[in-house]
Chain A
Amino acid sequence: MLLLQGLVLGILVGGMYALMASGLTLIFGVMRLINIAHAAVIIFASYLSWQLVLSLGIDPLISIVILVVVFFIGGALLQKYVLSALIDKDLSLALLATLGVANVLEGMEGALWTSSFHSINTPYAENTYQFGEIFVPEIRIITFAASVILLGGLYVLLNHSNLGRAIRATTQNRGVAQLVGVNVNRITMIAFGIGIAVAAAAGPLMGMYYPFYPNSHWGWIGKLMAIVVLGGLGSFRGTLLAALVLGIAEQVAILYIPANWAAMVFFVFLFAVLIVRPQGFFGHVARESL
């Protein structure tokens, strides 16, 4: 029964992990870039949502709409004016630039909101439901449902629109996409913007679920990277599956070992997958021309 409890909570938290990691996957797909600032963007969105609740009384779920638009624009601008020039020159420079962005966000949050814990309170979601012997907090159902809706929207966008087809074509083969008339630079900019917007959408949900502070993004980026590596870098399906697997593994582990040790589950999986199957669940072995 205890195991079932872990399974249910694991699926609920896994849905949110999937949302948090899917932007990272999208960005890796089109740019071959690990966005080290991804979790910092999520935390930044959490802070902004917290501020919107405090100053304007905007519900965190509503604030997602605002944040998505703002972060899409911000992400697209960052890609266009900073990262795109670096990608062509040297991928490691772009990687270091995202490290710089992460630190800028962290430092700014600390200066604006101090470095103490914050969390987004939702007084309407403090119930806990009981199904048989399984206890499920309402907030976890809400964040899961919101994550699934947002992921569904992303899925439809990527699979059933021309923009989505262009993004997937660019992911699969940049050169060929360009040959068939895709403006790959523009698509890359838009896809990066979408990736950042998805991170922003995850921010308020994360903040309703977990407390956050400026440098908590380091803990998160480790988890998110474990998810995308397990899923196979760049694979959207793999990310969803890996997020569920790791969410369940973490929640089950919490039942048997101290909660802070459960975070190690992610790294155990990370190292195991790199030793046994470096390309992850759905990844391809990268081939480069000699």
Chain B
Amino acid sequence: MSARRVLAIAWPVLPLVILVALPFNGLNGYLLALLYYTFTYAAMSVGWNIIGGYTGYISLANLGFFGLGSYVAGLMLTHLGWPILLTSPLVGIICALVAAAIGWVALRTRGPSFVIVTLAFTFIVQFLALNLKGITGGSAGLYLPLLTMDPLLLGDLFYYYMLGVLVLAIAVAIGIRRSRFGLGLIAIREDEGKAEGSGVNTSLFKIVAFMISAWFAAVAGAIHAQYLNYVDPDLAFELIIMLYMIVMTLLGSRGTVWGPVLGAFLLFPLQESLVYWVPPAIAGEVHLALLGVVLVLVARFMPNGLLVTVQNLIGRPPPPRWEPVPVVAGEPTPARAGRDE
């Protein structure tokens, strides 16, 4: 293995070591929280990318899964006393099963019904959170018991927990990208009819991709509920969260492993700095409108996203989908021979 190849595979270790080391070197307070939020959005964007980027189906349900995850985790804590930091994978699995049901309705067919159903799903979950007052507390929300811990250590705990989720998300994204499953998803994106014709079980692949995507949104929602110690229908289903996942993925490069991560690490700190130069009374609205503008501009002028665009600029060709058949020197290639006759 050449040094170059080692570097190509092992480079993520360096940023990871830095991120792990930061809290030991006095990182706390605002910057720690900023990074925690960035990890959260990055993990959800990587998850969204699996259905929205690899498979090419625009899901607006991931916000619904984020909120559903918050509520399921919150209810398990308040009713059963199960700590969220331990149950979050289970919460993810519950939401992934819901995703399977939604996918069964919306992904059996091709075409536009998926986006409609996913949006409807998000509305329905939010509606139920708001109106099933006996269970969810309605608009007053759920207050969760505080974790009894030194607040400084608590910040570090959430930081590492979410970093772990992000690392897992990236590992899963890499694993999918290199598997037959991932190839199948990309085949679906490129031409679903041909993918089906060549033996890909498209319905199953799409539903599994959607479930994995939902798992990360739900886990992030669960952890975030404990982070805030509070769940309410407005916070858990804030539409800007959905917009973030999509804009970060698209800005970074959808369909790539690192695009959504890059998008999150660029966009979230950048938008946080908006606070310093927008009047606070309209900051939320300006923020929303600006994200919309970024979305339209990226879609129109840089649809490949930063990562792919930069790679193309510095002349590195995109990785081949499959290895070309090597041609043995001296022998005429079959295609050429056929044409000459």
Contact = CB atoms under 8 A, between A and B. Distances in A.
Contacts of B112: 28, 32, 34, 233
Contacts of A278: 108-109, 113
A92 interface: yes
A273 to B, nearest CB: 10
A94 B112 CA distance: 12
A131 B292 CA distance: 48
B115 A34 contact: yes
B93 to A, nearest CB: 23
B288 A218 contact: no
A263 B246 CA distance: 27
B193 A100 contact: no
A288 interface: yes
Contacts of A204: none
Interface in B93-149: 105-106, 108-113, 115-117, 119-120, 123-124, 127, 131
Interface string A89-101: 1101111110111
Given A103-B291, A108-B285, A264-B127, A97 B111 contact: no
B58 interface: yes
Nearest to A92: B58
Contacts of A263: 127
A282 B221 CA distance: 40
Contacts of A100: 291-296, 299
Nearest to B290: A107
A100 B197 CA distance: 35
A225 B294 CA distance: 25
Nearest to A260: B131
Interface in A45-68: none
Contact of A270 (B120, B250, B293): B120
Contact of B123 (A219, A275, A288, A290): A219
B282 interface: yes
Given A96-B295, A218-B239, A264-B127, A103 B288 contact: yes
A99 B123 contact: no
B293 A104 contact: yes
A111 B295 contact: no
Contacts of B109: 278, 286
A221 B119 contact: yes
Contact of A82 (B57, B108, B296): B296
A115 B282 CA distance: 10
Contact of B131 (A103, A261, A286): A261
A110 interface: yes
A136 interface: no
A99 B120 contact: no
A274 B58 contact: no
B155 interface: no
A226 B194 CA distance: 30
B215 to A, nearest CB: 22
A264 B282 CA distance: 32
A216 to B, nearest CB: 12
Nearest to B128: A264
Contacts of A173: none
Contacts of A215: 239
Given A86-B300, A260-B131, A274-B113, A106 B56 contact: no
A263 B286 CA distance: 30
B288 A96 contact: no
A288 to B, nearest CB: 5
Given A92-B56, A260-B131, A97 B296 contact: yes
Interface string A134-166: 000000000000000000000000000000000
Given A103-B288, A107-B290, A111-B289, A226 B120 contact: yes
A289 interface: yes
Nearest to A234: B112
A172 B101 CA distance: 33
B300 A111 contact: no
A214 interface: yes
Given A215-B239, A267-B124, A274-B117, A107 B287 contact: yes
B146 to A, nearest CB: 31
Contacts of A94: 299
B243 A222 contact: no
A204 B246 CA distance: 32
A102 interface: yes
Contacts of A226: 120
A229 interface: yes
Interface in A263-290: 263-264, 267, 270-271, 274-275, 278, 286, 288-290
A105 B292 CA distance: 9
A4 interface: no
B289 A108 contact: yes
B303 A111 contact: no
A104 B110 contact: no
B285 A115 contact: yes
B164 interface: no
A279 to B, nearest CB: 9
Contacts of A82: 296, 299-300
Nearest to B57: A92
A176 interface: no
Contacts of B239: 103, 215, 218
B289 A274 contact: no
A222 B123 contact: yes
B175 interface: no
A104 B296 contact: yes
8 contacts: A92-B56, A99-B292, A103-B295, A108-B289, A218-B239, A267-B124, A270-B120, A289-B193
Given A92-B58, A103-B243, 9 more contacts: A28-B112, A86-B299, A92-B57, A96-B295, A106-B285, A110-B285, A222-B120, A261-B131, A286-B109
